[in-house]
Structure 1
Amino acid sequence: MVKDKFVYDKEHDCYWCPEGQKLVYEGKHEGDKKIAYRIPDAVVCKKCKQYGQCTDFPRGRKIVRLSQEEVKEKLERQYEHPESQEIYKKRKARVEHPFGHIRRNLGMTSFLVRGREGARAEISVAATCFNIVRMITLLGGVRELIGGFMALQS
């Protein structure tokens, strides 16, 4: 059974399962990014007619919620509007192209270095390569690009 079948009760900070059982706050996961809720008594889950479909975990059903779940839900609702679909189509056409080129044509499927600074440096080099290739294409070739640079010097 999927999470959307469960109802989140913001006032009591808990979830309610489709059978009317309460899932209470269990704790945070991955720092403060995710919050877990669980049926307090696993026997309740095991006796439920949905057991096996909802969960087969011996400790009972567990729901994990993002700490910013309301923001995620708001953005998902907003995405469904026709105006948002138009914006997303433009984004796909404009933004996804460079990343697709970097991944496929430049062969950059993963970072070679570790850490935020290294990854930023690596993606900056890849973006610079993309921009140079794009300039060459827009100007009509390497000779035209060099000619353009030469014109800037004089």
Structure 2
Amino acid sequence: MLNWKQTEEGFLICPEGRVLDQYEGDNISRTRGGNLHISQMYAEKGHCEGCPRRSQCFRFGKYRRVGKNVVMEELQGKVDENLGCEEGKGLCRQRSIQVEGAFGILKQDRGMTRFRRRGLKGVKMEFLLNCLGLNLYKYHLFWLKQRANNLIGKLN
């Protein structure tokens, strides 16, 4: 369904060329994470009578129904809009550099290539301690740099 073509009005077209344009109502639910999921359900007028792919399409029910998640499409459109502008592209590049750098420091400089604890709770605690140590190290370097700048400023 994701690869199906669409008409100008936004209705889906199946691989056999049938347009699913009969609106059948909304299906409202929540995901496991608690997010709202609204699907607009559509079907084809003749319920795909005489279609050679009918047996492949129909798993449940008397005819093919297709849902469009309008909330997800709206959010994806906003994400595409935000990432399409120059500021969004710059933020994406900056974020990937920052994250990779932090993991690189932990792995290469700090020697954290394996966890030494077992279980999710132990691994989480070990990782958080390593992140805390990295942040303290960065703050210490920042403090030393500020101190050196202050001493140079006093000498001049």
TM-score (norm 1): 0.50
Q: What SS does structure 1 have at the residue aligned with 2:57?
A: coil
Structure 2, gaps ≥5 residues long = 14-18, 142-156
* Alpha-carbon spacing, 1:69–1:36, altered in 2? closer, same or farther (3 Å): same
2:42 aligned to which of 39, 42, 47: 39
1:106: Cα distance to partner?
5.0
**Length, aligned pairs only:** 122
Gap change, CA 1:90 and 1:47, over 3 Å in 2: farther
Deviation for aligned residue 1:16 = 1.9
Q: Match of 1:70, as an amino acid? A: E
Shift of 1:133: 4.1
Output the CA distance in 2 between the equivalents of 1:89 and 1:126. 25
Distance, in Å, in 2 between the alignment partners of 1:67 and 1:56 is 25
CA contact (8 A) 1:32 1:67 kept: no
Which has the larger Rg? 2
In structure 1, stretches of 5+ residues that fail to align are: 10-14, 114-121, 141-154
Separation (CA, whole Å) in 2 of partners of 1:94 and 1:40? 47
- Per the TM alignment, residue 38 of structure 1 is displaced from its structure 2 partner at its CA by 2.7
For residues 124 and 85 of structure 1, what CA distance do their matches in structure 2 show?
34
Identity of aligned residues (%): 15
Q: Which amino acid aligns with 2:36?
A: K
Q: 1:72 aligns with which of 70, 76, 87?
A: 76
RMSD: 4.5
Which residue does 2:90 correspond to in 1? 86
- Residue 152 of structure 1 is matched in structure 2 by none
Q: CA deviation at 1:65?
A: 0.8
